[in-house]
Structure formats: C-alpha cells, structure tokens
Amino acid sequence: TTSLCVFTSDLRLSDNPVLRGAAGSAEQVVPLFVVDRGLAGTGFAVPNRVAFLADALADLDAGLRRRGGRLVVRQGDAVPEILRAARQADADEVHIAGGVSGYATRREQRLRAALAEDGRELRVHGAVITAVEPGEVTPAGRDHFAVFTPYFRAWQRAGLRKALTAPHTVTVPSALRSEPVAVVTSLASGSPSPGLPEGGETAGRDRVRSWWRSGLGRYADRQDDLAGDATSRLSPYLHFGCLSPVELVHRARQAGGPGADAFVRQLAWRDFHHQVLAARPDAARADYRPRGDRWRDDSAEIAAWKAGRTGYPLVDAGMRQLRQEGWMHNRARLLVASFLTKTLYTDWRIGARHFLDLLVDGDVANNQLNWQWAAGTGTDTRPNRVLNPLAQARRFDPDGAYVRRWVPELAGVPGSGVHTPWRLPTAERDRLDYPAPIVDLQEGLIRFERARQ
C-alpha cells in the first residue's frame, strides 16, 4: 500500500507524526509539498519567508534522499493537487498536520470531502505545529483560554506525546513526476533582507545545539537585553516546522533551571496564541475585544514608523532591524507596536501588515494576536498600558548599544545620550541626518487617553 505525507508547516524529518504516520502504515510513502498558488495573492508569500521556505524544502529533499526517497513538489491549488497525487500514486491514506488558521481549516474540510468521494481516507495529526494541540486544555465551560496565566498552568499539566525519531528509510514510488524544489521561489518577487538566516531543519538543529550550549542557561536574565541579543532566534524554524515544539519542550524540561523554565514559558505563549486563533479565526482581522476605537490614519506618521525615522531612536532601531534581518527582538516588537497603536494611535492592522511583509517568522497566530495584545484589543489583562520609549531604553538598552548598531546616523553619539538626540547641542544635532521626534510623548498619551473616554 501507499500513503501520502503532505508537508505543510512541519518541514522536518525528526519528530514528525505526519511522516511517521504515513510511513508506519504503508510500504511506500509519497512525501508531498504543494506550492500553493492560492497563497500567492494573499500577502503571505513575501520574499523573506519564501527564501527561507526554499532553503527548508531543499533541506527536506536532501534528507529524504539520504533515506532513499525524495520530495515530490507540485504547484497549483492545494486540494486538487493533493487529490491528483493521491490518485496517481493510488494512495489509500493521506496524512497531514492539523492547522489552526481559517485557511488551514478550510483546506482540511475540502480535502476530507474530496478524498472521501474518492474512497480515500484523510488522517489529521495533532501536536505537530504546537506542543499542546489547540482545544486540548480548556477552561470550564469555554472553548479556549483568553488569559495566558491560567492557560500556562493548564498547559504545564497537559501530557506531551513522546518525541519521535526520523524514519531510517523512505520508499517513494518511482514514477511520480515532481517539479524542482526551486519553483517555490516564483511565489514572491523582490529581494530578501540581507541578514536573513538560512532555513531548514539542518540549520535549525545547528542553532538549537549552540543555543543549548551557550544561550539557554542565561536566558532568564538576558531575554530582554536588546543589545545582548540573547534569545534563541528559533522562531522562523518553529514557524516553518523545521523544529518540533514537542521535542524542544521535552529537552528544555530535561535540562531544567531558570533559563529552561523561561524558554518553555515562551513556547507556551506560542501555543496560547494558536489556541486563541483556532477558536476565533476571525481574530486574524477583527478585534478580539472590540472597543470601538476610532484610529487615526496619518500617512506621514505611518511612513516614518515603517522607515524607522520617528525620531525615537529605540523605536527606529527596532524598525531598522526588521528591514535588515527580517526579524526583530521581542522587546523591540513590543515597543514599536505600542508606539504605533498607543502613541500614534494607529490601527494595529497597519502594523501587523507591515510586520507580515518582512518577518521571516511572520505567522498569523503569533503576529496578529501579539499585535492585538500590544494594541489593547487582544488578551492583555492591562490593555491600557503604554510603553514609554525612554523608560524602555533606560531598562533594556541602558548604554545605547542596540541603537548604535541599527541606526548608523547615531553611531557616533556616546553613552545613553543616544536615546535623546534632541537634547544634543544644536550644532551637533544639525550635523546628524536624524529626524526630530514626530510626536511629543505627552501629546501621544493625551491622544490615547482621549480616545479611551
């Protein structure tokens, strides 16, 4: 018999229940990836993520070839392409990971119906994309947790499935046609950010090894140190499923200690947002807790924010890092999101869209729901808190090293003075090609408070 293994957000061989499920029940497996033309127009296929995806697929193909198989790549609309491949290979079963977005859920429903009509079975695997499957832990009488802390308590008590090893051999029917892996690059035009990391399971596992050696132990103390850059940078690997969250949680729990505990807590945040989105797919666009905001829409302010020229150096440093690396430190993400939504009082969807245009880890669940959290329309239990860029600078970039790294115009300003260039002597300030603040912080607070009344 033959089974189809459809890869989606699980581009790995290790600890992949979809691949193991398909390989376990059949003599032959078709490892299939569909370059989904339906995604081309949705704004999700952007140069940074497409470049990372191309690496990940090439790495997956190489890993399958080492096991005697290969990756079969097709392009078109996902459901008919999967159905066609199932017919060509005469596969009885099609295995796929359970998804959480509205898009993935609709794909699953359509696929189930199409396969059933053909006398084939769809097998959906849980705990592939998240460590704990959405809906597995719920508060009494509700379908999802709306607050992180009680979710985290329940999440920690939830049983984790065992981690699975990669299959030793994968036997693929020889007659099946495949497109070259590189066709995926045609999904997006434009160049990726210069500092983009290499994609794929191999690169991800390398990063995990060095993170375990030199990052994890000190993570609890250093996770908010902007210049220290002391977080794992595993997010794009998790987003594309090059790494398994189940495996990471098991390994971190085994390692133990404050760093590992703090790291596990962040992985639980990831699951938290996924279970919110699974229960409320409309939260990708609509306010999770609508407050009737009448957002301002000032195109010059929005353009300055996107360009990293707001005149607030810490905000600008974050925005420049995003453009250069396709990634931004979490502390900076929180600040730039608060600045856009609460100081400039601009609709969070505008910020979320810009992030999705550039983030290599850009993810509907994590991006949209973190944006809503920062904007106060989401799951933050203190929705009216406003982050002050100067107070954040004092705490998380005290000597200004993060700003000097990302804002070259200010690289010559020593010490913490780099956070307040408007206080420099006039002659010195005039020599810098750096803008004056686009908004007075006090005025920003007034805008926000008025809007709240």
Interface mask toward ligand FAD for 196-225; x: CB under 6 A:
---------------------------x--
Among 266, 324, 416, 420, binds ligand FAD (CB under 6 A): 266
Among 37, 112, 218, 233, binds ligand FAD (CB under 6 A): 233
Tokens 């989401």 appear where?
378
Task: State the Cα–Cα distance between residues 263 and 281, nearest whole angstrom.
Answer: 27
Q: Alpha carbon of 300 to those of 286, 304, 309, 341: distances in Å?
A: 25, 6, 11, 15
Q: Which residues contact 165 (CB under 8 A, 6 or more apart)?
A: 14, 15
Q: Read off the tokens for 390.
A: 């100067």
C-beta of 65 vs 385, nearer to ligand FAD: 385
C-beta of 2 vs 343, nearer to ligand FAD: 343
Candidate ranges 24-32, 139-147, 365-373, 422-430; the one touching ligand FAD (CB under 6 A) = 365-373
For residues 43-102, which are near ligand FAD according to CB under 6 A? Answer: none
- Least distance to ligand FAD, CB of residue 138, Å: 19
Interface mask toward ligand FAD for 308-347; x: CB under 6 A:
----------------------x--xx--x----------
Tokens 């010559």 appear where?
412
- Least distance to ligand FAD, CB of residue 333, Å: 4
Q: Count other Cβ atoms within 10 Å, centred on residue 433.
A: 9
C-beta of 269 vs 402, nearer to ligand FAD: 269
Q: Which amino acid is at 403?
A: V
C-beta of 204 vs 313, nearer to ligand FAD: 204
Among 125, 273, 320, 349, binds ligand FAD (CB under 6 A): 273
The answer to the question of residue 232 lying near ligand FAD (CB under 6 A) is yes
Task: State the Cα–Cα distance between residues 42 and 373, nearest whole angstrom.
Answer: 23
φ, ψ (nearest 5 deg) of residue 4: -100, 135
Q: Which residues contact 271 (CB under 8 A, 6 or more apart)?
A: 130, 131, 132, 134, 155, 245
User: Shortest CA distance to 216 belongs to which of 272, 271, 288, 266?
Assistant: 266
Q: Which residues contact 425 (CB under 8 A, 6 or more apart)?
A: none
- Least distance to ligand FAD, CB of residue 113, Å: 31
C-beta of 353 vs 429, nearer to ligand FAD: 353
Report yes or no: 337 and 348 within 8 Å, Cβ to Cβ.
Answer: yes
Give the count of residues interacting with ligand FAD (CB under 6 A).
28
User: Residue 212 in 3-state DSSP?
Assistant: helix
Interface mask toward ligand FAD for 345-364; x: CB under 6 A:
----------x---x-xxx-
User: Shortest CA distance to 443 belongs to which of 394, 386, 380?
Assistant: 386
Among 151, 152, 240, 269, binds ligand FAD (CB under 6 A): 269
Q: Which amino acid is at 324?
A: Q
The answer to the question of residue 238 lying near ligand FAD (CB under 6 A) is yes
Given the rule CB under 6 A, which residues bind ligand FAD? 223, 231-235, 238-239, 263, 266-267, 269-270, 273, 330, 333-334, 337, 355, 359, 361-363, 366-367, 370-371, 374
